[in-house]
Structures are given as structure tokens and as C-alpha cells.
Structure 1
Amino acid sequence: MGLILSLLIVLSSFIAYQVYRIQCQRNEIVRRNECGTVVQHWTLEPFTGFDFQIKMHMSIPFLHQLHQRYRHTFQVGTLISHPALITTAKENICGINSSKDFGVEPMRLPGMEYFCGKGFITTDGDTWNHSKRMLRPSFDGSNLRDLSILRDEIDTLLESLPKDGSASDLQPLLYTAFLNSALYFVLGVLPSQISNDAPLTAEKFVKSFHGALVYSMFRTVLGRAWKLLPQARYIQTCATAHKFIDFYVEKALQEHDHNDITRCKRSLMKDLASQTDDKAYIRYQVIQGMMAAQDTTSELLTNAFFLLARNSEYWTRLHTEIVEAGDERFEVDRLIASKLISNILLETLRICPIFPLIGRVALRDTKLPVGGGLQQDLPVFVPQGTKVVMSYYSVHRNESVFGDDVETFRPDRWDDIHPAQWEFMAFGGGNRTCLGRQKALIEASYVLARFGHAFEGIRSMDSREWQGELKMTCKSANGCKVAFY
């Protein structure tokens, strides 16, 4: 017993010495680079801060609460890995999003490459630039303004809703409508048009796609620890999704070889097939395109309806505006020009951002402009490999920018406020600004107008407050249970 106690004392002393030595080294690096020390938040699991990572993803307001305690910049103290740096300072957000010193590849590619390869979601530098250039033609004006597929999906959705004030959960209904629309945008086919000789039905493909996506997200959160888990089920799920995509890649390439591409409906896959015959490359760009498009707009609308149902005066104004707009009420130009619709969407994105936090990794030793010292006005040294997290949920609750009622849904505030470039981050910024921003706003505006025209009123059928559930995007954990009349 005495020997065990002695060994524990020696081990504890060694760990304490190593912690002290590492901290001294970090402090010396900070001093040598003329930077300030950053306030520390210590976690329950002090070696890697894994419990902090889990809580950060499980509780959306968590980082905002810590920012209220530590102000705009703090770091998560760890004993083994680099401390994670958390910031909401607009100077830092600008630096992280605009500099080539920060990227995503070390954080995302190891866990996601098997499923979705190298593309604009998983890489940096030249590979990322090439992927973005290949995808850009699919987001030209004419393609974004074609709402014919979405119109049919919303027709079906509206017909399915009860008109007697009964409750409906809009979240799965909007998800299905936009999934079908996204499939058409990406693959050029609707689920009802899936070829009989396709290797999977649309339902089986969607199931395998989302299974592989969830596994990939889980692997990314775990970091290197995912290698300790069984891989067989993940590999099989990815292979199933790949088989379906590869079938349509082959068809797109055949159509292009026979000069049929011009008479076929535009799709992201067909645009890619006109630029390259690399089947694996097309497959992975298509998957990443689906990952980006699958539920972003549907969740924006789910959150908008959730908030409108609790603030019905805005719905009354929406209904009146759409009814009085006449025959051009659903024209894209008129929708874009609607200040009320724009304000509703911006306020929804402010309160319930689709991406409430965004992480980057320092690709080399670098600095951030502010966050160090007692006043947090000194530069911060960021060693290579450090993870930095920007809490956009907290950025959107800056009272000096948005007013002192930041938790209140008040779309009219956008008539008077003018956030600077790095103070409102609904669509990101800098090098990785969302490529589909215009597409999402046009489609969301159209759906709001259709619902506003169809129904005089809306009311909430759920007393619970909005709660976020973060996976690839942030969705409402409790759905959107409302009634129309």
C-alpha cells in the first residue's frame, strides 16, 4: 500500500512539473512575440478539454454565457493539446476569415475524406479554390431564379396542411420539400423520377447519405479518437451512398459525350460533367454540394415560422403585403425587394443562426489582433495547430450593434441598424462566404410569400422555447409545431 502511494505521489509530481514546464514555455512564446496572455477557462477534463467540446456542441448558448463572463476572447486551458481559442471580436473574426493562416483541412479532412473526398468543405488552398471554381457556374442568376421545382413541392406541402387550425410540425415537411428540391438542383432528378435501373431507391439513398453524414460529423468531433471505433458500418454506409451517386455521374458523363447536356435541365452534376471526366472528383463535389444544400434553407424557414407563430403581428403584416401585391407577388424581383420579408429572414438568422459556431485551425504560427492582456487589446499569439472557434450566436447578441433587446424577435430593428461586415455572420465572410447565399434567400422569400398568401394567421402549438440541436447545421430540437387559419 505504501509503495502504491509513493508511486502516485511521484506520478502526480511529474505531471505537475510537466504542466508547469508547458505553461512556462507557452508564456515565453507569448512574451517573445510581443503578445498578451489570454484569460483561461479550465475544463473538468483538463488534458484535452473533451468535455468542453461536447458541451459546446450540445448547448448552443454555452459559449455566449462564457463570453459574458470572460468578454470577447478567452482560451480553453488544456494540459496536453494546444489551448482552443474562443473569440467574438470583429477584428479577430476578420483575421480568421480573411487570412490564409487559418483553414479547415486539418480539422475536417481526416474524419470526412472517406465519405466526401476533397472539396470546398474539407480542404484549403489550391484544392479549395479549384473546387469553388468548378461549382460556381451552378449558382448563376438564371439557375437561381428557376423556382419551378420548389413551386411544385410547396404546392404539395400546402395541400397537405390542415386548414381547420389543427397542429402541424412544419420541420419534417419543409425538410422533405427542400430535400427533393436539393436533389434536383444537385442531381437533376426528383425522387419520383429515379430510374428503375438505379442501384437504390430515393429513400434508401437518403437514408445512407444521412447515415454517412452523421458518422462523418461524429468522427470530426472526436478527432483522432475516431480511429479507436469500429469502422465496418461506416464504410458500408458510405459505399451504399457512393453507388447511387456514381450511377448518376456515369449518366451525366454519357449525356455530355453525346452532346445531350445542353437540352437537359441544369444541375450541379451536369455542370461538373461539362468541366471534367474524373468520376471520383465529380462524386465528391456532388456529395459536398448536397451536404451544403440539404437542410440549410429548410431550417431557416423552420426557425422563421417558429418565431412568427409567437409574434403573429408580423404574420398579419406579411399576409396583407402579399395579398395586396397582385399578380406579381411571387416574382423573384418583387420578393427580393420586400423589406418586410428581408427583415424577417435577417432577424431569424440573427436569433437562430444556422451555423452558430464556426471552427478553424491555425495552419502556421500566427497572431490575432486583439484578445491579450487585462484589457484584451493586445495581440494574441496562435501556434500552428491551435483550434479557434467563432461564436456567431454570441456575435449576433452584441447589444452595441443590435440594441438592448437582443433576445426579442423584432424584424423592424433592421430598418435602423447597419451591422458592419464582421458583426453579422449569417452567411460567413471572407474567403469562405456562403456560395449559396442568394439561392437560400430567394427560396426562403418565395416560401414565406406562398404561406403568407395562403393563410391569414398562424399560432404556436408548443409552449417550449427554441432550443438548438447542432449537427452539420443547427436545427430546432423541438421541431416547429404550429397551426394555420
Structure 2
Amino acid sequence: MLFTPLLVAAVLLILPTITSSVKWELTERRFAKSHGTRKRSRSNPWWDIFGVYPLYLFIRAMHEGSNFQFIRKQHAEHGNTMINYILGRESIYTVEPQNVKTILATNFSDFSLGKRHDSLYVTLGDGIFTSDGEMWAHARALLRPQFLRSQVSDVRLFDKHTEILISILKANETAQPKQAVEIQTLLYRLTMDTATEFLFGESVNSLSSSAGSSDVAKGNVTAVAANAGRGGFAEAFNSVQDILVLRIAFQSLYWLVRPPSFDKSNKLVHDFVDHYVDRALSYARTKGNRPAESSESKYVFLEALVEQTEDRKILRDQLLNVLLAGRDTTAGMLTWTVYLLARHPAVFDKLRAIIIERFGDTPNAENKMPLTFENLKSTEYLRFVLNEVLRLYPSVPQNFRFATKDTVLPTGGGPDHKSPFLVHKGQGVYYSVWGMQRRHDLFGEDADDFRPERWSERTFQWEYLPFNGGPRICLGQQFALTEAGYTVVRLLQEFDTLENFDPPEKDVFPKVNALLTMSHKTGVHVRFASSTRC
């Protein structure tokens, strides 16, 4: 008697899978006739009929901190484009520039962010980095004017905060000579301070506010690194990010990830931004905005944005999106720059010599170039160094899109892996910028090496993608490159020694943040020193 209901249950469970498989097969055949597509074989072992093994391998790699290396190894074994069958779903993984170009530009409307909006909405709302379609287009049009060259080229914004960073490093060397400092924490606070001043007109001063000027003067770098921003916006912002990363990873089950502490931190983040939004709206309604183009007043992103809209939610959502992306991408770029320069003293010495020759060893040195946007951009070797940093450690090392309809990617199908192939509606496509930018066939046999000189030899197109591409290319890339360039120049003007205190580079442990940016999981420990200064 028990056999019949068990049989019925088995049929009900298996039938949808069979129906879906038949539907996919028919679609494959239809597209093969009309588009010349070829099937792409799965990378799963033959015995893994449920798609458990790839999930196990990826979770293990995540636990070990080697997920980027793992994906790269998978591509080496199964091709530049592969399909993984995980828990009943087929997902595409690619490091082919042609496919990435198709996803981000050529067939832009065929792909979306999937559930990213839902998982991040609780904090970031309908922001430019969480939205698709008309909502995204509106946000893009709203923000684009705020990133004109005239807005992002004023390096005076970075001066005060960079000087605080330098004073901390100098004080640390005086108080604790020959000891390392964890520079990543300080660089994230630096970019938090510059980003909040640019966006709101006031900085959170997370580098020094909580520790206090006396602690900085005494060289208590531990107090600055450990306590700056504690109990305030900076710490809440970091706490919220840690949860948002998990919500993205859970995809459709994002709603399961919402611990009690999250709501408290999330409210603090929203209250902080709302304070500045309300102040800007009040200022605009009573006195009128100060003109952004005026040379007597600094440019404030929020005040300019209020001229475009007075919708309180829109303002908060866009500000939080820009703040999150602006802080993390630049901080990551600076962190990996220091990380690599500390391991490659010849590059450090060459870059420093060029900087001293052009700019002198102090700001506004006599008979030297001033530190301006134009002069930073024209310092060729500095640009090569930053390009090479972003090649090896891209701001967004991996990303994904979901097909909004049945569509085609141009290469990866068939036995030779070179034919076009079908992407089914709803299917996820994951592209690894980390893996693509380390391909030996694209960047040479020394693709894993830090060699800035490669940028004097040739140019790169879609195989180099540090700031995304197509319609969603990063609006703030010039702002990030300018801040990174300015900070590197000032550090190398002040310090002639940079020592590494971390394990060999092969033991690096990247960590993915909320908007898929990358930081170092265990921090970057270095020593800045100067033999020519007291």
C-alpha cells in the first residue's frame, strides 16, 4: 500500500526536471538552426548527477581564501568558457573577452543583475549599482553630470586627509621603529574620509577623530587603526557590508540573512546619510545652493544632486551607492599598490625617482611640477604602475549577470570551444576579471608577474576590465585614479623605504566586499620609513 504514494511522489518530483530538460533541449535545437550555436559540455564529473561536487569545491576554496585561484584552475582544466551544474542549475563561467564584451556591451539588454537588487535593497535601495532597466538608466542620468572632469580634478580634496595619513605613519615610525603598520585599515579610512567630504561637504575624519590628535602625535597608530569610527558611521558601514556580501551569496534566499545587529547598524547608516540629505534640502529651499562652479567654494556632490531632484529616498540611495563603490574601489587599489610595491623594491625605487624628479620631495617644491590632475595623469610610469596593479588585483575581480531571454554568447561552444552557444533565459553567467587578466595567452608568459613596463609595449581592450565596460562602465574611475595617484605620489615623496612584513605573495587571501570589490583578508603589513628626514 505504501508503494503507490511513494511512486506518485517520485513522479511529481522528477517530472518537472524532465519537462525542463526537454524544453531546454528543444530550445537548444531551435537556436542551433537559426544561430549556428553548438552545445557547451559540462565540467562536472560524470558521476555527479545532482551537481554537488562543484559546490563542495567552491565552498572549500572560499574557506581557504583561494576562490579566485580555484576558478582560474577550473578554467585551465575545462576551457575559457565552461558550464557547471550545481544543485540542479546550469551556470556559465567565462574568461573570454568576446563573451564579456557581449554581456556588458553588444547584447547589454539581454542580461540583468538578477537578485542583486533584492538582496541589497535593505541598505542601498534603488541605487545605480543595484538597479536594472529604466530605474538604472534614470540613476545613471542623474549621477553622470556629477562626475565631469571639473568636479573630480581638484586634488585639494585629498590633501588634508593624505597629510593625516602621513603624520600617522611618521609617528608610528618614531614611536615604534622597525615595526610594521597594517596599512589597509588606514587606507580604507582615508578613502572614507575623502569620499564623505566629496559627497556631503564634511568628512567623517575616521583616520583621527576617535583616537584624537594627541594619540596621533604620540604615534599611537594602534589606537587610530582600532578605534577610529568605532560606534559611529564608519564601523556601522563596515558591519552592514559584511552582511550584504552574504545576502548576495544566498541569491533567492537572501532574506534568510538578517541578524538582529544588522538592523541597528543599517539604521545608523541611513540616519547618517539622511542628516546630510535633509540639511542640503533645507539649504536649497531657504538660501539656494552655492554655485558648484564657483572657484571660491568647493564642489559638494550632494548639493549639486539636489539641483536635479529633491526626492529624499532617491538622494539617499544614490549617495550610499556612490559612497560604497567610491570608498572600496580606491581603497582596494591603494592597498594592492602598497602590497606590490613593498614586494618589488626595484619598481618602488624607479617610481620614486620619477616622482622626485617631476614633483620634488615636498608638495609645491621649487622648480618642480605642481601636484595637479593634469600632471598626475601625464606621469607615465605612475599610470603604468596603477594599470598593472589593477590588472593583477582588479577592483571588481568577479561579477555575474543573468539572461533576461534566450540569447547567444559568441565563443565557447562545440568540441573546439570556439563556436557560439545558447544562454537560456534566467541562466547565470559568471565572468572572472581576475582570471581573464592573468591569462598567459593574452598578457604573456609573465602574466602573473608585476611588471608595469608591459604597458609601454602594447594596449589592451576587453581583456583588461578594471572598471567594468559598456553602458555600466564606472562613472567614478577618474576620481579613483586621481586619488590613488595623488596618494602614491605623496607617500613616495615622504618615504624612501617601504618594507614588506607579510608572507610570500602566493599566500595572498583576497576578500570580496559588498559590491564585489576586493580587499586583503588578513590585512597588509608594511613599514614606511625615511632615511633623509628626522
- Equivalent pair of 2:247/2:257 in contact (CA under 8 Å): no
Q: Structure 1 residues 436, 230: CA separation in 2 closer, same or farther (over 3 Å shift)?
A: closer
Farther-moved stretch of structure 1 (459-468 vs 348-357): 459-468
Residue 300 (str. 1) matches residue 333 (str. 2): yes
Farther-moved stretch of structure 1 (387-396 vs 46-55): 46-55
SS at match of 2:114: helix
Farther-moved stretch of structure 1 (326-335 vs 83-92): 326-335
Displacement of 1:266 in angstroms is: 2.3
2:70 aligned residue (55, 62, 73): 62
Residue number in structure 1 paired with 2:526 = 482
Residue number in structure 2 paired with 1:469 = 511
Residue number in structure 2 paired with 1:442 = 482
1:354 aligned residue (391, 395, 399): 395
- Equivalent pair of 2:193/2:203 in contact (CA under 8 Å): yes
Farther-moved stretch of structure 1 (160-169 vs 14-23): 14-23
Alignment of 1:47-446 (within 5 A): 51=56, 54=59, 59-78=67-86, 80-81=88-89, 83-98=90-105, 99-161=107-169, 162=173, 164-191=177-204, 203-229=231-257, 232-262=260-290, 265-325=298-358, 326=360, 327-328=368-369, 330-419=371-460, 421-446=461-486
Letter in 1 for 2:72: H
TM-score by length of 2: 0.82
Displacement of 1:449 in angstroms is: 0.9
- Equivalent pair of 1:351/1:393 in contact (CA under 8 Å): yes
Displacement of 1:88 in angstroms is: 1.4
Residue 458 (str. 1) matches residue 498 (str. 2): yes
- Equivalent pair of 1:462/1:482 in contact (CA under 8 Å): yes
Displacement of 1:313 in angstroms is: 0.6
Farther-moved stretch of structure 1 (371-380 vs 6-15): 6-15
Distance (Å, rounded) in 2 between the aligned partners of 1:229 and 1:335: 43
Displacement of 1:448 in angstroms is: 1.1
Distance (Å, rounded) in 2 between the aligned partners of 1:266 and 1:345: 26
Farther-moved stretch of structure 1 (42-51 vs 129-138): 42-51
- Equivalent pair of 2:500/2:527 in contact (CA under 8 Å): yes
- Equivalent pair of 2:246/2:257 in contact (CA under 8 Å): no
Q: Structure 1 residues 118, 48: CA separation in 2 closer, same or farther (over 3 Å shift)?
A: farther
Q: Structure 1 residues 226, 275: CA separation in 2 closer, same or farther (over 3 Å shift)?
A: same
Displacement of 1:192 in angstroms is: 5.1
Farther-moved stretch of structure 1 (345-354 vs 469-478): 469-478
Residue number in structure 1 paired with 2:25 = 27
Deviations 1:54-74 (A, max 9, x none): 567651212111110111111
5+ long unaligned stretches in structure 2:
207-228, 292-296, 361-367, 530-534
SS at match of 1:423: coil
- Equivalent pair of 2:329/2:395 in contact (CA under 8 Å): yes
- Equivalent pair of 1:55/1:62 in contact (CA under 8 Å): no
Deviations 1:274-313 (A, max 9, x none): 1111111111111111111122111111101111111101
Deviations 1:246-289 (A, max 9, x none): 11111001111123421564222212211111111111111111
Letter in 2 for 1:346: N
Deviations 1:1-37 (A, max 9, x none): x979x99899779867765654444233212211211
- Equivalent pair of 1:138/1:271 in contact (CA under 8 Å): yes
Distance (Å, rounded) in 2 between the aligned partners of 1:299 and 1:78: 31
- Equivalent pair of 1:308/1:314 in contact (CA under 8 Å): yes
Q: Structure 1 residues 178, 255: CA separation in 2 closer, same or farther (over 3 Å shift)?
A: same
Distance (Å, rounded) in 2 between the aligned partners of 1:12 and 1:49: 25
Farther-moved stretch of structure 1 (118-127 vs 157-166): 157-166
Distance (Å, rounded) in 1 between the aligned partners of 2:14 and 2:231: 55
Letter in 2 for 1:432: R
Q: Structure 1 residues 106, 37: CA separation in 2 closer, same or farther (over 3 Å shift)?
A: same
| RMSD of aligned Cα (Å) | 2.9
Distance (Å, rounded) in 2 between the aligned partners of 1:417 and 1:94: 20
SS at match of 1:41: coil
- Equivalent pair of 1:319/1:455 in contact (CA under 8 Å): no
Distance (Å, rounded) in 2 between the aligned partners of 1:373 and 1:395: 21
Distance (Å, rounded) in 2 between the aligned partners of 1:9 and 1:49: 30
Q: Structure 1 residues 110, 55: CA separation in 2 closer, same or farther (over 3 Å shift)?
A: farther
Farther-moved stretch of structure 1 (126-135 vs 95-104): 95-104
Displacement of 1:158 in angstroms is: 1.0
Displacement of 1:367 in angstroms is: 1.2
Distance (Å, rounded) in 2 between the aligned partners of 1:329 and 1:299: 26
Deviations 1:346-395 (A, max 9, x none): 11111111211111111122111121110112221111111111111111
Deviations 1:210-264 (A, max 9, x none): 3233222211210222334556543443222212211111100111112342156
Q: Structure 1 residues 192, 372: CA separation in 2 closer, same or farther (over 3 Å shift)?
A: closer
Distance (Å, rounded) in 1 between the aligned partners of 2:281 and 2:61: 43
- Equivalent pair of 2:55/2:86 in contact (CA under 8 Å): no
- Equivalent pair of 2:198/2:301 in contact (CA under 8 Å): yes
SS at match of 1:368: strand
- Equivalent pair of 2:102/2:108 in contact (CA under 8 Å): no
Letter in 2 for 1:286: L
Q: Structure 1 residues 90, 186: CA separation in 2 closer, same or farther (over 3 Å shift)?
A: same
Farther-moved stretch of structure 1 (310-319 vs 104-113): 104-113
Distance (Å, rounded) in 2 between the aligned partners of 1:376 and 1:87: 11
Q: Structure 1 residues 410, 229: CA separation in 2 closer, same or farther (over 3 Å shift)?
A: closer
